[in-house]
Amino acid sequence: MTRKTAADFDQELLILFDAYVHGVIDRRGFLDKAQKFAVGGVTAGMLLASLSPDFVAAQVVPKDDKRIVTEMVEFASPKGSGKVKGYLAKPANASGKLPAILVVHENRGLNPHIEDIARRLALDNFVAFAPDALTPLGGYPGDEDKARELFAKLDQAKTREDFIAAAGVLKARPEATGKMGAVGFCYGGGIAHMLATQLPDLNAAVPFYGNHPPAEDAAKVKAPLLIHFAGMDDRINSAWPAYEAALKAASVKYTAHQYAGTQHGFNNDTTPRFDAAAAKLAWERTLAFFNQNLRA
C-alpha cells in the first residue's frame, strides 16, 4: 500500500492536526472539526489514524542492528526531576573517542522514532543520547495520545534542567571527545535553541521547526546554529524575524533554511507530513554541519 503524503490531505485539516498534536485542541475537538473532511466512506477517526505515526513502517535502523550498541542510561538531574533516563546509541566498533550529539524529542517523549534517530546518528559515527522528559511520569507510555497528555503535566522549568543535566552527562561520557552538538524536533527544536543560550560550551545546535527563545537571550548563544523551518508553519515562522534580528545584533553565527511547501514535522518519517526530499536535504545539511563543527 502506498503511504499517504501531506498532498493527500486538505491544508486546513493539516493545520487542525497540528493544533491537536500540540494540545491546542483535544482528540474530541479534532474529530468534531475533522468531520467536514470525512467524505466518501471515510470517517474522522480514519483521518486521524491516517495522519498518526507508523513507527514500524518508518524505522530506518533496527533496534538489533549489529553495527551499533544501545542502552538505557539513568542520570542525575539535581536541579530538575532528580533522576532521568535516556537512550544511548554508539557505533559497535568505534576506534577512539567520538563527538556526541544530544537528541531532543517532540512533545511525546522518547518514542520509537526518536530512538531510531539516535541509532541513525550512531551509524554516522557519533555518540547519540536521547533523554526521555517523561521519565518522572513513568516514561514514554507507548501511546502517542497518552504521551501528549502526560507531557502537558510536566514542570517545564525542571524539564529544561533535565536536558541541561543530560548535556553535561553526555559531554563527560568516556566514549566522547568532549565536542558536543544538539539536535531537536518541534518541542525538541525549542530545547535545542534553549541549550544554545544556556551552554557556553555547546559546539553546534540544530533546531528543526522549534520555538525560539526570548530575543534578549540571543546574545548568550555561543554555538553556531543551523535552523530548519517548514514552509507551511506560521505558528513557528512568525516569531523568526525578531529572533533573527537579535542573533544578527549579537553577531551569532547561524544558517537558516526554509523548505518550501513543507509541513511542520516534515523530517518525521512516521507520518504523512513527512517530505522525503526536504528531509533528505535537511538531514544531509545537519550531518555536514555536525561533522564540520564537532570533528577536529
- The DSSP line for the chain is -PPP-GGGS-HHHHHHHHHHHTTSS-HHHHHHHHGGG--TT--HHHHHHHHS--HHHH-SS-TT-TTEEEEEEEEEETTTTEEEEEEEEEETT--S-EEEEEEE--TT-S-HHHHHHHHHHHHTT-EEEEE-TTGGGTS--S-HHHHHHHHTTS-HHHHHHHHHHHHHHHHT-TTEEEEEEEEEETHHHHHHHHHHHH-TT--EEEEES-PPPPGGGGGG--S-EEEEEEEE-HHHHTTHHHHHHHHHHTT--EEEEEEEEEETTTT-TTSTT--HHHHHHHHHHHHHHHHHHH--
The pLDDT value given to residue 114: 97
Residue 1 has pLDDT above 60, yes or no: no
> Taking a C-beta distance cutoff of 8 angstroms, is the pair 292, 264 a contact?
no
Under CATH, which number does the domain 68-294 receive? Answer: 3.40.50.1820
d(CA 26, CA 17): 10
How far apart are alpha carbons 19 and 11 in whole angstroms? 12
Q: What does the block give as the cell for 196?
A: 544554545
Please tell me the predicted confidence (pLDDT) of residue 51.
Answer: 86
Determine how β-strand 127-131 pairs with β-strand 82-91: antiparallel
pLDDT digits (tens, 9 = 90+) for 114-162: 999 999 999 999 999 999 999 999 999 999 989 999 999 999 999 999 9
Give CB contacts under 8 A, 24+ apart, made by 202-205.
202/167, 203/99, 203/179, 203/293, 203/294, 204/289, 204/290, 204/293, 204/294, 205/181
Spatial distance between the Cα atoms of 88 and 95, rounded to a whole number of angstroms: 18
pLDDT digits (tens, 9 = 90+) for 210-223: 999 999 999 999 99
Domain positions in the chain: 6-51, 68-294
pLDDT value at position 109? 96
pLDDT tens by residue, 149-204: 999 999 999 999 999 999 999 999 999 999 999 999 999 999 999 999 999 999 99
